[in-house]
């Protein structure tokens, strides 16, 4: 087959390199052009093999995947799919890698290795194909130890703000997938502390969303937390849908808006599902809602956003030029759900303008 996607596998485990090589080679659209046991070997092979996509282990001796990304991206901008361990350290490094430019990640199984590796190969194959066509956006965001004291002071201020916050009369819903962690950050960090309540639905496995919420919380004036069943939607707070669970908006005439978080099978391949969250917002919030679809593969959110717009909500989607993958925004715009396409750098201002109206 012509124009196969050329893949370089980087992992310190010979067994994992073999499993990934054999598994990926079964797909007629992929060609494994090489493997490397560590970043130093990979650095030598990249200019020679010229892969289209690289899979990169997060935790490796001598140099971890994060440090390799820092050094690699300026010299050889290359779509990278991280292979993450499900340890706390591995999850944190994965989020750091996404901030440094990695396109996406897959998580290594912890139990039932035979079944787990089968699912990993299926997910990795798909994400390599997505990465091959993704835009490489130059996110270079890193937090520093020097900001620790300032963050702690800000956190105390936010806790006090949340204790006195009013129920939100408006609800902002943001749905995202591939490339979404940095796109969401780009928006949330631009909002002032008293912004109406926000619910973020980011396609991500369980465990990662808590760390994602914690990271956002350390960087924004608003209070960010992983959503729990019954959490109120209040001014100044961002709720992140937990990975592996669905989230819905509900309205109580006395208490205002809150969220229902529950376990259920994936909906059209996704859990959490943007469609489920946005359909509930259409019914419960109506014209007082704002819906936003960001970068991501597929069409999740397009039906839900259309329902929101049909119920009077204002609806936006990210433009193609700034999307890592212009799948979800494209579908939301094509079916008439999104009123217009907005560059990610202008999205916070566009949402704020809708709130003022």
**Catalytically active residues, by annotation:** 177, 203, 300
Helix (H/G/I), strand (E/B), else coil: 56: strand
Distance CA 59, CA 86 (A): 11
- 197, 181 in Cβ contact below 8 A? no
- Three-state secondary-structure class, residue 259: strand
26 CA to centre of own chain = 28
Sorted by sequence, the CB contacts under 8 Å of residue 328 that are 6+ apart come out as 175, 176, 177, 274, 293, 294, 295, 296, 297, 298, 299, 300, 301, 302, 317
Cα separation, 82 vs 76, whole angstroms: 16
Among 127, 179, 174, 138, smallest CA distance to 326 is for 179
- Give the pair of three-digit tokens for residue 155: 């956190």
Alpha carbon 19 to its chain centroid, in Å, reads: 27
117 contact partners, CB below 8 Å, separation of at least 6? 19, 23, 109
Instruction: Dump the DSSP string for 62-116.
Output: SS-HHHHHHHHHHHS---EEEEE-SSHHHHHHHHHHHHTT--EEEE--SS-HHHH
Counting Cβ atoms within 10 Å, is residue 9 exposed (0-12), middle (13-18) or buried (19+)?
Answer: buried
Tell me how many degrees the CA angle 143-147-149 measures, rounded to the nearest 5: 140
Closest CA to 101 of 130, 68, 123, 143: 68
């Amino acid at each position: 087959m012509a124009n196969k996607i050329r893949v370089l596998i980087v992992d310190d485990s010979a067994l994992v390199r073999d499993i990934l090589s054999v598994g990926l080679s079964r797909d007629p659209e992929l060609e494994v052009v090489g493997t490397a046991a560590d970043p130093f070997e990979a650095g030598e092979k990249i200019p020679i093999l010229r892969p289209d996509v690289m899979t990169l282990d997060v935790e490796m001796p001598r140099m971890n995947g994060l440090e390799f990304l820092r050094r690699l991206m300026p010299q050889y901008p290359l779509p990278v799919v991280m292979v993450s361990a499900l340890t706390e350290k591995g999850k944190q490094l994965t989020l750091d890698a996404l901030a440094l430019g990695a396109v996406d990640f897959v998580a290594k199984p912890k139990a039932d290795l035979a079944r787990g590796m089968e699912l990993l190969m299926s997910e990795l194959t798909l994400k390599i194909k997505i990465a091959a066509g993704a835009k490489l956006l130059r996110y270079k965001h890193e937090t520093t130890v020097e900001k620790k004291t300032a963050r702690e002071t800000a956190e105390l201020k936010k806790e006090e703000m949340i204790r006195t916050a009013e129920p939100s009369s408006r609800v902002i819903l943001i749905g995202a997938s591939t490339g979404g962690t940095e796109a969401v950050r780009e928006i949330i960090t631009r909002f002032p502390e008293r912004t109406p309540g926000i619910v973020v639905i980011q396609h991500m496995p369980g465990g990662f969303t808590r760390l994602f919420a914690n990271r956002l919380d350390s960087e924004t004036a608003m209070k960010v937390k992983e959503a729990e069943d019954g959490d109120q939607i209040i001014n100044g707070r961002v709720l992140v849908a937990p990975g592996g669970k669905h989230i819905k908006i509900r309205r109580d005439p006395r208490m205002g808006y809150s969220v229902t978080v529950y376990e259920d099978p994936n909906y059209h391949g996704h859990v959490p599902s943007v469609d489920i969250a946005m359909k509930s917002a259409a019914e419960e919030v109506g014209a007082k809602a704002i819906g936003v679809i960001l970068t991501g593969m597929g069409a999740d959110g397009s039906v839900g956003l259309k329902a929101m717009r049909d119920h009077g909500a204002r609806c936006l989607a990210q433009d193609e030029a700034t999307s890592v993958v212009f799948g979800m925004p494209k579908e939301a715009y094509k079916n008439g759900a999104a009123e217009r396409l907005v560059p990610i750098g202008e999205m916070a201002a566009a949402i704020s303008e809708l709130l003022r109206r």
